[in-house]
Structure 1
């Protein structure tokens, strides 16, 4: 029997795999970064600056690289941002850990071989880094980063005051990193307009953003072959299907609609049924196929008549209907739309307040929705169903509208749509506080453990409790100037933390893990200013006075940055726990993210 090949993984292999991904994302990183062009096997060309789209478009053979891409994809799906910074910070941490483990491989526990000792040291450092971040990092951010930022208001996205313009600056910065300078202002305005339409009165902004994020697939329509400037909002909902029956003339009075999740005509045979064939005298008149077919047609006529008695003129069906149903609906002058997606039916039922039905003989008034109109809508080369709800603004306190995203090519339209949804995810993450419980905020920590960026801000005898109450962390929407400001401030905070630890504790035999993260953080601003190292030195040495002119660099969320660091350290820990790769010859049947490790099984390292 042929043995399955096993590949022993070393620390250098992990570093090589991540460095290869880093070299790809660096081409589009930072304000001077360009777009990456991909040519698929089908000949389709994709141009993108999105780190998640670039990484997931790669055909990766090494399982470690696929594992990293999966971690990036998961993080970006939650926060909507930070894919390229994720890879950059991960690669920097691996280099520093590799250098530390190579310099002193027997730092913690001796092993039989040098490579085993290096792997054990690297794994131990990664575990301590993650433990440190989960227990101390949020406190350092509260004390040393938040005082240099400010809180943006998410209450009114259309306000023209300086306070509310900060939120729009945050959006412009986000769209600029995804779509470039040309359309960042345009999509910022369109995004704010969409939020103002869907903002529920007397409710939190996060509620509207969460609803839009969950329903985004049904709320937006991509149109290719049209200039980007044609992107707009249209009232009501767009069903991405065409009418299966001729659409009659638009009526003046409100229309009534019903949603079906089954077949209107009983099917002759379903899965598992047995067809009994008889001949001659054994065939009875009430059990023949002809009789059954006639009965189903009469059943359809009865259903249509019942719907007419309720005044229903629009039928939305989740399944494809038979020709008999289409003929009966056409004869009755009803608009029928079939194969409506689950997401669109869910949105329709939420906005209309009705529930889908499967048995038309049990229809009740609560199953009937009232529409202002239902008509065809031509967008690009496709025709869709366009409808609006009669009393939605009074009932739900919102003005429903749909987003139309236009672009010259299909790939660009998809890129713009992804950036739009990621903006919702980014804002939802920005609304999360760094610390979630007030009890944790009131914890008294000796001042030597939380030295501020500027020594004159906090006296040596002052406890952290006073400073924490001065800067309320439970306030959401904390942002800071972009351009590496977060990394610079946290780098300095970690430096002060490591210095205080070295003074109070004998660390001659142990590497302070805060120093590892401290060094790695500088890799982000170093790449941002790689085209002008003079600016890097100026930014690194500038004082903490956050003047308004720094808004020109843009803004970024502190919560997003905090979640990014935690996600990178979690990925680092998982990577360094892998000891071997077991390669198989399984065929990859799908391109989904769930099949990223279909070709290889990675064996964790035993403790």
Structure 2
């Protein structure tokens, strides 16, 4: 049966998915009761679990749910907001004119969405990375806001503090954060231990690893111990796979058994001679191996999972040991040092607790998660694993497309410099960049205007001298990257003369006008996250494009004649820098809604304008859902207050303390748009129902 795909039908299916997760959305959301096939009940707010529990018959609905779950697995967040935004986009598309706008989705991303982020949204962003080492504030605010959509208030505060402590212990100051967070996310099942029957407040962080096995044999030993990994039985078998072992008499069989026993004893004696005190095995060892292990004072842990063995190998850098006739006389080099090895009683279970010496940046610790029942510990573990996945995205950047770089060439001349005098000794410079497209000033070099209107920054005291003195400057980040350019004068240090800065033409107008030029106003925008480190000195014989050290930002040098001044330019070829965050509560959606609408008005193509308005209006569906359970008209008040602050170039009033990753939110918008494009590319759905066929054997000879 074939049927045409209608946009209204897609909207209904998406609305049904959104209805299933809508009640669990946001910090005020409730929990849904899921009954597993085993009959076990589970209370959860996890959007991925809710979508996976649905029995979806329409293939397009399954595509929507799979796309939401894929986005959740990649970024650790956003399964519920994915379907809410999807409903908004499909509904707005149906109202605007149907699926014929699909071809405008990709140009919209390149020409409107990225421009709205680069030229508008970026000025409101702050970075969570500078305070990562010194304090737990940004990290805890991110994790607690993430857990707010999954756990109750008391649980989320406690687990946020616990997870922050866990990250700090596993990742010392010198450790690369992305690699550590990646390991915490991918190996979280092996890096935590659930304990049932204890209150959640009993959860804690323990040094070392907790292996979910008991000792096959335990021999206490003090000090550092040497350990080996084993992935095969140490007692050799009579035959191997594919080899036939023929025994002609009982005497031959007894002789074979004696050889096997002597061989096993030789292997264990060789381990003992190399001072091996701990044997970590992924297979179950024979009784004779356990006997000789006790005899030689070795502890044995067997039946470890392949994931646990891989984790230990990754932390210690050792490979499994394989005994053979060639290496029984050599020293065993594939060993690791274990600082302690002891049994650990957690609840009613007895497990193995070992301390490993790490050869990588990750310092092994185990997170003990306690709860009254299994379902609670499972929810806590899933929420924390998602939080570590989300934190991993914090270190990623989003680069601009080549299409935007080509457009940026038109706007390269709109570069203005505002300079003012702050004291008798120190000159402060503000570099205002009116083009945030990706036509970036090349690293350590800027192309100055070569005509009569070239910007000149000359100190009269330096004219005629053969050397250049060092001029220290403080960077002040503009509150608006698109403000108009004005002429200002800068007083010199001693004689009161001034330096003229000629006016440069601005090609673009920004909705936030004249926000840069008030030198007495505090540049209070969140973009000043790294402003304390933004100092640079233009030193002797400094030339454009040479002799500048990389400081993590682009350095721009304006040179005329023999003098030059260098300043830090907070500008890169990225749409979203690593560590970019915004307050929670719908600020990202409203800001992006505002800037998409603004830049869409400058377009001449009607399809791009329509699709821009569609996405801009759909973005509001997320904060509308977040504020639905609050007081009456709370969303309207929040929306009008935020929009009024944007139009009047005032700082946003933030009431929430939580933070959210801008990278994850931006990827959410892209994922929804790609899902919409995939759905709209389906022209026909063909349902095929085949009756069950019986398999019969026919003899070809009987048919003749």
In the superposition, the TM-score normalised over structure 2's length comes to 0.70
The alignment status of 1:338 with 2:305, answered yes or no, reads no
Which stretches in structure 1 are left out of the alignment for 5+ residues?
A: 102-120, 588-607
Q: What secondary structure sits across from 1:351 in the alignment?
A: helix
Mapping 1:246-265, distance limit 5 Å: 247-248=218-219, 250-265=220-235
Query: 1:16 corresponds to which residue?
Result: 12
By how many angstroms is 1:586 displaced? 11
Q: What secondary structure sits across from 1:272 in the alignment?
A: coil
Q: What secondary structure sits across from 1:376 in the alignment?
A: strand
Query: 2:61 corresponds to which residue?
Result: 65
Q: What secondary structure sits across from 1:314 in the alignment?
A: strand
Distance across 2 between alignment mates of 1:546 and 1:167:
27
Contact persistence 1:200–1:208 (CA under 8 A): no
Query: 2:157 corresponds to which residue?
Result: 185
Alpha carbons of structure 1 residues 365 and 561: separation in structure 2 relative to 1, 3 Å: same
Contact persistence 2:85–2:619 (CA under 8 A): yes
Query: 1:518 corresponds to which residue?
Result: 616
Mapping 1:32-111, distance limit 5 Å: 32-101=28-97
The alignment status of 1:560 with 2:668, answered yes or no, reads no
The alignment status of 1:485 with 2:587, answered yes or no, reads yes
Distance across 1 between alignment mates of 2:611 and 2:266:
75
Mapping 1:340-419, distance limit 5 Å: 340-359=304-323, 362=327, 364-389=331-356, 391-392=357-358, 396=360, 399-419=363-383
By how many angstroms is 1:79 displaced? 0.7
Distance across 1 between alignment mates of 2:83 and 2:272:
60
Distance across 1 between alignment mates of 2:365 and 2:72:
26
Query: 1:304 corresponds to which residue?
Result: 268
Which stretches in structure 2 are left out of the alignment for 5+ residues?
A: 415-433, 438-478, 486-504, 511-515, 517-553, 555-568, 693-704
Contact persistence 2:132–2:139 (CA under 8 A): no
Picking from 396, 401, 422, the partner of 2:386 is 422
Q: What secondary structure sits across from 1:476 in the alignment?
A: coil
1:553-606 CA-partner distances (Å, limit 9, x unpaired): 52211111111111111111222223214446799xxxxxxxxxxxxxxxxxxx
The alignment status of 1:458 with 2:425, answered yes or no, reads no
Q: What secondary structure sits across from 1:367 in the alignment?
A: coil
By how many angstroms is 1:198 displaced? 1.8
Mapping 1:103-502, distance limit 5 Å: 122=99, 124-153=100-129, 156-157=132-133, 159=135, 165-245=137-217, 247-248=218-219, 250-276=220-246, 278=248, 283=249, 288-359=252-323, 362=327, 364-389=331-356, 391-392=357-358, 396=360, 399-435=363-399, 443-444=408-409, 458-459=483-484, 462-463=506-507, 475-501=577-603
Distance across 2 between alignment mates of 1:360 and 1:150:
59
By how many angstroms is 1:90 displaced? 0.7
1:529-554 CA-partner distances (Å, limit 9, x unpaired): 22335221122122137768615252
Distance across 1 between alignment mates of 2:8 and 2:46:
28
Equivalent pairs, count: 542
1:32-71 CA-partner distances (Å, limit 9, x unpaired): 2111111223221111112112212223333322222221
Q: What secondary structure sits across from 2:227 in the alignment?
A: strand
Contact persistence 2:24–2:149 (CA under 8 A): no
| Range with bigger deviation, 66-75 or 11-20 | 11-20
Distance across 2 between alignment mates of 1:91 and 1:309:
68
Query: 2:563 corresponds to which residue?
Result: none
Contact persistence 1:169–1:551 (CA under 8 A): no
Distance across 2 between alignment mates of 1:506 and 1:313:
74
Query: 2:461 corresponds to which residue?
Result: none
1:416-446 CA-partner distances (Å, limit 9, x unpaired): 1111111121122122223369996793465
Query: 1:111 corresponds to which residue?
Result: none
In the superposition, the TM-score normalised over structure 1's length comes to 0.81
Contact persistence 2:13–2:61 (CA under 8 A): yes
Q: What secondary structure sits across from 1:178 in the alignment?
A: coil
Alpha carbons of structure 1 residues 256 and 556: separation in structure 2 relative to 1, 3 Å: same
Distance across 2 between alignment mates of 1:482 and 1:546:
19
Query: 1:580 corresponds to which residue?
Result: 685
Q: What secondary structure sits across from 1:183 in the alignment?
A: helix
1:144-174 CA-partner distances (Å, limit 9, x unpaired): 2121221112663562xxxx62332222211
Distance across 2 between alignment mates of 1:339 and 1:515:
59
By how many angstroms is 1:213 displaced? 2.2
Contact persistence 2:231–2:282 (CA under 8 A): yes
Contact persistence 1:260–1:315 (CA under 8 A): yes
